């Protein structure tokens, strides 16, 4: 179903508020979750990371399930079970809106998301407003916008990463044979990486790209964990601290803006 997305505006969204009690249920059928830049390092111990080729270009993605429309990291209560929570999930229902004419991206919102409610409607009493009565972003929404700006910077930095991977012909198809609904996934070829000359290898290290490559390669070993979760008909155990299901890292709770280096 097509979603209605619009840039954040106090005139359009001034009376909207966000309910957080549903947790991460919105991602329960999301089999691939985009990651950007330093998120590869943050997420490599939590889930397998692949590179997804689309018409718009390359996207690093967390593989969250091998069954069609399956995400094993969201439980029945809407809790996120993996150690690292991707930034775009923490920001939901707020997203980046690409403006082609202006050539930039701005913070937007999925207007028909069920977590949003108009002030005065049922459920709005406990919801968090997006704008204050003067039309200014609330502190909570300011954190979300800052997170989306960080995502945008990481997304731009990732293009350099993929330009190098393509130039050096390091990408190879990754046929995840036991998966349903996963296509156009790629991984770094360890053989081709090992065949690089010392100068080229040093350039990748100087650019900080080797860290991302190794994080990706390390994560590929976690594919077996997803397969085991599907075969046993259960979700993987959560590692690390438990998160309050009422707080998804936007309005209180986890406020983890990843940094660029």
Mean pLDDT of all residues in 44-59 = 92
pLDDT, the chain, mean: 85
pLDDT at 246: 30
Identify whether 120 is part of a domain.
yes
Identify whether 255 is part of a domain.
no
DSSP-based helix, strand, coil % in the chain, nearest 5: 30, 20, 50
1 pLDDT band, cuts 50/70/90, is: low
pLDDT of residue 60 exceeding 90, the answer is yes
Burial of 92 (C-beta count, 10 Å sphere; 0-12/13-18/19+)? buried
Between residues 259 and 21, the one the model is more confident about: 21
Beta bridge partners of 171: 188
Residue 92 CA to residue 217 CA, distance in Å, equals: 28
Q: Quickly count helices (H) and strands (E) in the chain.
A: 8, 11
| % of the chain with per-residue pLDDT over 70 | 86
Identify whether 224 is part of a domain.
yes
Cis, peptide link before residue 93, omega less than 30° from 0: yes
DSSP state of 131: B
236 pLDDT band, cuts 50/70/90, is: low
Considering only CA atoms, which of 117, 123, 115, 71 is closest in space to residue 236?
71
Identify whether 48 is part of a domain.
yes
pLDDT of residue 244 exceeding 80, the answer is no
- Which residue segment(s) compose the domain that 186 sits in? 5-232
Number of compact structural domains in the chain? 1
pTM (two decimals): 0.85
pLDDT at 21: 81
Residue 220 CA to residue 152 CA, distance in Å, equals: 25
Tokens, residue 46? 């939590």
Identify whether 239 is part of a domain.
no
Q: Do 170 and 194 form a contact (C-beta atoms < 8 A)?
A: no
Write down the residue that tokens 């775009």 correspond to. Answer: 88
State pLDDT tens for residues 127-175: 889 999 999 999 989 999 999 999 999 988 899 999 999 999 999 999 8
Identify whether 248 is part of a domain.
no
Write down the residue that tokens 């997170």 correspond to. Answer: 147
Identify whether 259 is part of a domain.
no
Mean pLDDT of all residues in 19-42 = 92
pLDDT of residue 104 exceeding 50, the answer is yes
pLDDT at 224: 86
Least confident of 116-130, 147-161, 237-251: 237-251
State pLDDT tens for residues 83-101: 999 999 999 999 999 877 6
Identify whether 250 is part of a domain.
no
Concatenating the DSSP letter of every residue in 162-231 gives HHHHHHTT-EEE---TT-SS--SEEEE-HHHHHTS-HHHHHHHHHTTHHHHHHHHHHHGGGHHHHHHHHH
Least confident of 92-96, 109-113, 184-188, 241-245: 241-245
Cα angle, residue 30 at apex, residues 106 and 90 outer, rounded to 5°: 45
């Amino acid at each position: 179903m097509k979603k209605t997305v619009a840039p954040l505006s106090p005139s359009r969204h001034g009376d909207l508020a966000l309910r957080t009690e549903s947790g991460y249920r919105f991602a329960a059928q999301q089999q691939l979750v985009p990651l950007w830049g330093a998120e590869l390092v943050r997420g490599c111990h939590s889930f397998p990371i692949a590179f997804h080729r689309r018409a718009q270009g390359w996207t690093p993605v967390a593989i969250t399930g091998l069954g069609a429309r399956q995400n094993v990291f969201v439980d029945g209560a809407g809790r996120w079970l993996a150690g690292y929570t991707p930034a775009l999930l923490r920001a939901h229902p707020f997203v980046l809106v690409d403006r082609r004419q202006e050539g930039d991206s701005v913070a937007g919102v999925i207007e028909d998301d069920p977590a949003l409610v108009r002030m005065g409607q049922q459920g709005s009493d406990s919801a968090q407003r997006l704008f204050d009565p003067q039309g200014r972003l609330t502190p909570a929404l300011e954190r979300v916008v800052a997170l989306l700006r960080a995502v945008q910077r990481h997304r731009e930095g990732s293009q350099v990463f993929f330009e190098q991977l393509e130039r050096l012909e390091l990408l190879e198809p990754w046929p995840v044979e036991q998966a349903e609904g996963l296509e156009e996934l790629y991984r770094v070829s360890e053989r081709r990486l090992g065949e690089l000359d010392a100068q080229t290898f040093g350039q990748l290290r100087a650019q900080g790209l080797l860290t991302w490559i190794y994080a990706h390669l390390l994560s590929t070993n976690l594919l077996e964990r997803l397969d085991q979760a599907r075969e046993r008909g259960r979700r993987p155990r959560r590692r690390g601290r438990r998160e309050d299901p009422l707080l998804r890292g936007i309005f209180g709770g986890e406020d983890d803006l990843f940094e660029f280096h």
